């Protein structure tokens, strides 16, 4: 199924999953043999379904919805609801305790972790799930195949380069038919992990950007108009000819917006792909708390704007059934969800990082 299919059919998928659960329950009641139903450990001790709620990043939302749909067909004792509201919203709801797990593309800060742990009385766990590319997309009609280097990209988002026929853009794209048209910058309007990845990259490659704007889920944009979520930003770019912005890779594929090739730290112009996304993770330094950055990777062939996305969980949950259900879902996603992740152009975590992520999942318990 394509990402667009996920968006348009999520209600139908949820209904189908619900009907399957009802049918399975009826069969189990009639036959008196619920042991024939596959389970990943999500059923409560009283035999009722365990409900999990999560909220946060739109960056991995297409993949999470697919994973959840598949998992609920395997473990009919678990029902999971995920809402893509942005990484900032996910951290907020996780901290307030209104959801069972959060999701973010920007690791929680020390201050955010302290606030969450003081309120919950438990330790925060960062569990990486996949790597994804934040791609630069644009709307210039039939003009495609463009490329930018860090100087020009940061200059556009700083408002220093304002026309598509600027000599610096032409120098990088001599054979392109660039229009004499104003550049319309589009950025996220919500608190966003995708923004954190993008601005983290610009801060790494531009001293001016670092000094004047900086990085984070929310920044004071020098120029541009905002879109809500990855899908909202993509929609604005689609509607505004002459525009340029940034979205997670699967949203570019969904909308058909062309992507820029970007000059990486190794001096290559690299297009976003599953392979160039995975390359960014090669040789990355991973701390024990698994809060890490992949911005501007030095690896040959790596796309320069890549980030991980994390599930946020506590090492002690009040409900044992929910703790076991969340562990079951996350372990299944990490161990069995690679094919679906690759289909949607997310790079699965692997090797020692996968082992460390599974260890964090195993640390989830109940109080």
* Cβ atoms of 94 and 102 closer than 8 Å: yes
Question: What is the per-residue pLDDT across 110-142, written as a single tens digit (0 to 9) for each?
Answer: 999 999 999 999 999 999 999 999 999 999 999
What's the pLDDT band for 10 if we cut at 50, 70, 90? very low
Residue 17: the pLDDT is 43
224-277 per-position pLDDT tens digit: 999 999 999 999 999 999 999 999 999 999 999 999 999 999 999 999 999 999
pLDDT at 29 over 60: no
**Averaged over 147-156, what is the pLDDT?**
98
Mapped onto helix, strand or coil, the DSSP state of residue 58 is coil
DSSP assignment of 69-82, as one string?
A: HHHHHH-TTEEEEE
- SS3 sequence of 82-116: EEECCHHHHHHHHHHCCCCEEEECCCCCHHHHHHH
User: Binning pLDDT at 50, 70 and 90, where does residue 206 land?
Assistant: very high
What per-residue confidence (pLDDT) applies to 255? 93
Predicted confidence band of residue 367 (pLDDT cuts 50, 70, 90)? confident
CA torsion 292-293-299-300 (nearest 10°) is 140
Domains 3-32+49-131+309-366 and 133-279 in one fold: yes
Q: Is 33 exposed, middle or buried (0-12, 13-18, 19+ CB in 10 A)?
A: exposed
Q: What percent of the chain has pLDDT over 90?
A: 86
pLDDT in tens, 40-66: 444 554 568 999 999 999 999 999 999
Write down the domain spans for the chain.
3-32+49-131+309-366, 133-279
CATH code linked to domain 133-279: 3.40.190.10
Average pLDDT along the chain: 89
C-beta of residue 342 within 8 angstroms of C-beta of residue 126:
no
Q: Which residues pair with 184 in a beta bridge?
A: 243
CB 259 within 8 A of CB 272: yes
Instruction: Give the DSSP letter string of 249-260.
Output: HHHHHHHT--B-
| Residue 35 pLDDT > 80 | no
CATH superfamily of 3-32+49-131+309-366: Periplasmic binding protein-like II (3.40.190.10)
Can you tell me the mean pLDDT for 18-46? 40
């Amino acid at each position: 199924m394509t990402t667009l299919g996920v968006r348009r059919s999520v209600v139908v998928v949820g209904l189908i999953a619900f009907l399957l659960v009802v049918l399975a329950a009826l069969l189990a009641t009639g036959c008196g043999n619920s042991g024939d139903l596959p389970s990943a450990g999500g059923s409560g001790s009283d035999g009722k379904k365990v409900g999990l709620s999560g909220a946060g990043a739109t960056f991995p939302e297409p993949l999470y919805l697919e994973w959840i749909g598949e998992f609920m067909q395997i473990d009919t004792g678990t029902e999971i609801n995920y809402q893509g509201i942005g990484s900032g919203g996910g951290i907020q709801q996780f901290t307030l305790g209104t959801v069972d797990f959060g999701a973010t593309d920007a690791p929680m800060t020390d201050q955010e972790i302290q606030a969450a742990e003081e309120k919950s009385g438990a330790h925060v766990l960062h569990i990486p799930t996949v790597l994804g590319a934040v791609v630069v997309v644009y709307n210039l009609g039939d003009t495609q195949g463009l490329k930018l280097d860090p100087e020009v990209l940061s200059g556009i988002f700083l408002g220093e380069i304002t026309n598509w026929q600027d000599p610096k853009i032409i120098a990088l794209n001599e054979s392109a038919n660039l229009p004499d048209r104003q550049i319309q910058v589009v950025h996220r309007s919500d608190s966003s992990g995708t923004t954190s990845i993008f601005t983290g990259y610009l801060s790494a490659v531009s001293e001016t950007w670092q000094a004047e704007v900086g990085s984070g889920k929310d920044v004071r944009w020098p120029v541009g108009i905002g879109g809500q979520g990855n899908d909202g930003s993509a929609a604005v770019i689609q509607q505004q000819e002459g525009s340029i912005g940034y979205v997670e890779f699967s949203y570019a594929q969904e909308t058909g917006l062309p992507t820029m090739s970007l000059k990486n730290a190794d001096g290559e112009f690299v297009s976003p792909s599953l392979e160039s996304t995975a390359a960014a993770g090669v040789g990355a330094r991973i701390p024990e708390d698994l809060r890490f950055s992949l911005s501007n990777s030095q690896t040959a062939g790596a796309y320069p704007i890549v980030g991980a996305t994390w599930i946020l969980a506590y090492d002690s949950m009040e409900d044992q059934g929910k703790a076991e259900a969340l562990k079951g879902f996350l372990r299944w996603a990490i161990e069995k969800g690679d094919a679906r992740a690759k289909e949607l152009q997310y790079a699965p975590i692997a090797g020692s990082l996968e082992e460390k992520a599974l260890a964090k999942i195993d640390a989830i318990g109940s109080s």
